[in-house]
Chain A
Amino acid sequence: MLKIENLHASADGTPILHGIDLEIAAGEVHAVMGPNGSGKSTLSNVLAGKPGYEVTKGRVLFQGEDLLALEPEERARSGVFLAFQYPVEIPGVGNNYFLKASVNAVRTHRGEEELDAMDFLQVCREKMKVVDMPEDLMNRSINEGFSGGEKKRNEILQMLLLEPKLCILDETDSGLDIDALRVVAGGVNALRGPERSMLIITHYQRLLDYIVPDRVHVLQDGRIVRTGGKELALELESRGYGWLEEAAENSGSAG
């Protein structure tokens, strides 16, 4: 599904990613952990095509095609979804209207018919139940005045509506209370399937209690320094990141 090869990237001229290799097969869920500032959001932004980032080396294949050659909206339409760490507010633009425009842009790309207001409402109501989202949030401006948890729910709602192939979740669990965490995880799990891959960025094991990953990667200073199974996350939880650095240094001096 996704194949990242030796990816180097800078943000506004500052090199941040220094050679990332990562492959996610269809149906797999990978977690990416790592200290603050290690480049996790940068990686997700580069994958989604945010302007301001420059890929200086390496390539990314999505479903066998060059992902980096596509405009952000083309990536989105072909199935790359990013749940933002900090979803932006857009005053005056109705959430409901926005979601419908988004769904229809993706449907049109897939050669499906656009949903009319009634059909959309019906589909939307169903998905809203999954993430336990109150109806009035649909009638408000996008994320405007939403609480932190409501913003995250709104991201997952969009993901459920768009049914992407690759879901990238950037710290979707941060700022959620325990109940909301369960709800959001439920939404994510509802989408898990053999045709869909997920890249889940998180600082906490507790999310991975609900969404059990196939692989866990640790990102540090723009590199993946360790990859393991779901137990790696537990180990990080108890030991922190320091020992990895030492391990990396030791192996560095040895080699």
Chain B
Amino acid sequence: MASTDSKIQEFVDREYEHGFVTDIEAESIEPGLDESVVRWISAKKGEPQWLLDWRLKAFRQWQDMVEPTWALVEYPKIDYQSITYFSSPKSKKDGPKSLDEVDPELLEAYEKLGIPLKEREALAGVAVDAVFDSVSVATTFKAKLYELGIIFCSFSEAVKEHPELIQKYLGSVVPTTDNYFAALNSAVFSDGSFVYIPKGVRCPMELSTYFRINAANTGQFERTLIVADEGAYVSYLEGCTAPMRDENQLHAAVVELVAMDDARIKYSTVQNWYPGDKNGKGGIYNFVTKRGNCKGRNSHISWTQVETGSAITWKYPSCILSGDNSIGEFYSVALTNNYQQADTGTKMIHLGKNTRSTIISKGISAGHGQNTYRGQVKIQKGADNARNFSQCDSLLMGDRCGAHTVPYIEVNNPSAQMEHEATTSKIGEDQLFYCRQRGISEEDAISMIVNGFCKEVLRELPMEFAVEAQNLLGVSLEGSVG
């Protein structure tokens, strides 16, 4: 039995593979946050007055707010005055026009992460908008997408080129006052991505962004906005890895999705930020606000996430089902090991008639990891015939970790149909022995069982992401794709 436990431990203890620091001269401001910093960021980015005003309003609101404490996570108090709020890789004045102009060291960093831009471009036809620290450095396929009327660019660029769209939708799903971290992000966000898919257009490729945190003590405040107009379709992939650092780094991103009539947005995340070491030292604090508005009739938003990194994860990708017949989905795998803590889940707010939501959450806890599913399903008065299905499963590896399920259900319309299932299981000695008795190594057996546990979520991921997720979970992907 001892050998089994130690094997599980070994599996769990695998060193973070992406821990290296890229040496790029950063252009940063001094740590600290006050109104002048907000103005500095806005000026640095050459923003219009309305955006500066928006940031300042958010900043003042943030100053009056308190950091939330309801999540089941523990961490030392964050000193917001010790954080640097802007840093960009030193670049040529106009930024790179093609990959050839991108800092070779940066490209090498991606290479090490297994994200060869060029190969991806050629092989998978994926347009990659790479965010390094706070500024977009490479955007590909833009022209091709532009022919279809699709806009896929950095947030800063969108502010310049498409101010009317940004002004219309920015903060329309996640208002500046939504929560502490969203307010902070609104005040100091550095960059991010913007996507607009026009009426009736089906985006012909997966859109993908890789985030990477680098410079020491740099908060990351990304802002992503995706708008799918009537009948449009887009699948967006977000992948994150970060180099190893000792000090905790704060990440507070905001993602807003808007789906009009008959539109569909599929948003997939593989989050692999530095989780801290075996003793819980270091790691990313990930406080993210992600929300989609199914604004139009028959609109459809799916969130799929595989969360394996970060020391602290605080994240609830949600759907507001405003349009009649709209559909919201949340598929999640959250893995915590060593001293990682995750408090993650979703909110499904049913406003329109005949709205449907599905929640599939798989929590895997190992080591001393703590994993909480927190989900809210709210059926509003006018939401006739709303339906929700929730399934929350927890898998424990070893006996020092924890799994918690905290569902909130509020039903204000008697026609609602709600289903909730929850299970907790342990990787059993007997299961492992069964596999080994059939010649399968213990490590492969663990992978197989973990992967089997996550299957319903993994199969929601686009192919190339599923492969990455499989690597992250250390599993050989088991026929769930294809």
Give the interface of A toward B (CB within 8 A). Answer: 48-52, 71-73, 75-77, 81-82, 84, 87-88, 90-94, 96-98, 101-102, 105-106, 109, 141-142, 158, 162
Contact with A along B458-474 (1 / 0, CB 8 A): 00000000000000000
Cross-chain contact B440 with A105 (CB below 8 angstroms): yes
Contact with A along B228-270 (1 / 0, CB 8 A): 0000000000000000000000000000000000000000000
Name which residue of chain B comes closest to A94, CB basis: B479
Q: How far is the CA of A94 from the CA of B436 in the complex (A)?
A: 16
Which of A75, A84, A92 contacts B451, CB < 8 Å? A92
Q: Which residues of A contact B444 (CB under 8 A)?
A: 101, 105
Cross-chain contact A84 with B434 (CB below 8 angstroms): yes
Which of B428, B436, B438, B479 contacts A71, CB < 8 Å? B436
Which of B425, B436, B448 contacts A73, CB < 8 Å? B436
Give the interface of B toward A (CB within 8 A). Answer: 1-4, 425, 428-431, 433-442, 444, 448-449, 451-456, 476, 478-479
Which of B2, B438, B455 contacts A76, CB < 8 Å? B438
Enumerate the 6 nearest inter-chain pairs by beta-carbon distance, A residue then B residue, closest first: A92-B452, A93-B452, A105-B439, A102-B438, A72-B436, A76-B439
Q: How far is the CA of A101 from the CA of B448 in the complex (A)?
A: 10
Cross-chain contact A93 with B449 (CB below 8 angstroms): yes
Chain B nearest CB from A140 CB (Å) reads 12
Q: Which residues of A contact B433 (CB under 8 A)?
A: 48, 50-51, 72
Name which residue of chain B comes closest to A108, CB basis: B439
- The SS class assigned to the B binding surface is helix
Cross-chain contact B452 with A141 (CB below 8 angstroms): yes
Q: How far is the CA of A141 from the CA of B440 in the complex (A)?
A: 17
What's the count of A-B pairs with C-beta under 8 Å? Answer: 90
- 6 new A-B contacts, CB < 8 A, other than A52-B1, A76-B439, A106-B439, are A76-B436, A84-B437, A88-B428, A91-B453, A94-B479, A101-B476
Which of B437, B440, B453 contacts A92, CB < 8 Å? B453
Q: How far is the CA of A52 from the CA of B478 in the complex (A)?
A: 29
Chain B nearest CB from A168 CB (Å) reads 10
Q: Which residues of A contact B442 (CB under 8 A)?
A: 73
Name which residue of chain B comes closest to A71, CB basis: B436
Residue picked from A81, A91, A109, A162, most chain B C-beta under 10 Å: A91
Sample of 17 A–B contacts (CB below 8 Å): A49-B437, A52-B1, A52-B429, A73-B436, A73-B437, A81-B437, A88-B428, A88-B431, A91-B452, A92-B449, A92-B455, A92-B456, A93-B452, A98-B440, A102-B435, A105-B438, A105-B440
Chain A nearest CB from B10 CB (Å) reads 14
Chain B nearest CB from A108 CB (Å) reads 9
Which of A77, A82, A93 contacts B448, CB < 8 Å? A93
